[in-house]
Amino acid sequence: MIKRWFRRPDPARLRVLMVCMGNLCRSPMAEAVLRSKLQRAGLGDAVAVDSAGTHGFHKGSRPDPRAVAQAARRGYPLDGLKSRPLVADDFSRFDLLLAMDRDNLDTLRDRCPPQAQDRLQLLMPFAQSAPTDEVPDPYYGAVSGFDLALDLIEPACDGLLQELRRRLQAAA
């Protein structure tokens, strides 16, 4: 007798992919922030969140320890996250692919099939008011750069949460 294993159906109705270059700092922090905000809003099962890097040179690595520490200080655990590269299938699996900066958005646009181009955006325009439209890469800087990244990511995820709520209501 052959035993078959079935995965539990994924209840998520929307899928969001956070994208930076190496998937070590900004995108895992953004993934954790959005996931936390979705849980608190009661939408954790309705929206799936993941992160990826446009470059795969850190594949399988845990997030930068500074990102882990600064995110944890604000209550966003990065436990279990590992760097993964963006793959072609991501353009069809995710409803929104949100880049942390213009360089990564350009890379997404270059790799994305024409029919999925409307899924690509920057994260920061979701913030109500922000001093910039990009989340600067803190990797080569001091710990304060990770706090700045979180200072930008948090309000952007607040605005994104409102957009996701609107999309879910429109689809209902």
Tokens representing residue 70 in the block: 């600064």
Q: Is 7 a catalytic residue?
A: no
Q: Is 109 a catalytic residue?
A: no
Distance CA 26, CA 151 (A): 11
Tokens representing residue 139 in the block: 């990797």
Can you say whether residue 89 is alpha, beta or left, with left for phi > 0 and alpha for psi between -120 and 50 degrees? alpha
Distance CA 148, CA 146 (A): 5
Burial classification of residue 25, based on how many CB atoms lie within 10 Å of its CB (0-12 exposed, 13-18 middle, 19 or more buried): buried
Determine which one of 35, 101, 137, 157 is catalytic: 137
Distance CA 68, CA 95 (A): 27
Question: CA quadruple 17, 80, 70, 61: dihedral positive or negative?
Answer: negative
Q: Is 20 a catalytic residue?
A: yes
Determine which one of 20, 25, 112, 157 is catalytic: 20
Determine which one of 25, 26, 101, 119 is catalytic: 26
Residues in Cβ contact with 167 at an 8 Å cutoff, skipping those fewer than 6 apart:
14, 95
**Residues that are catalytic:** 20, 26, 137
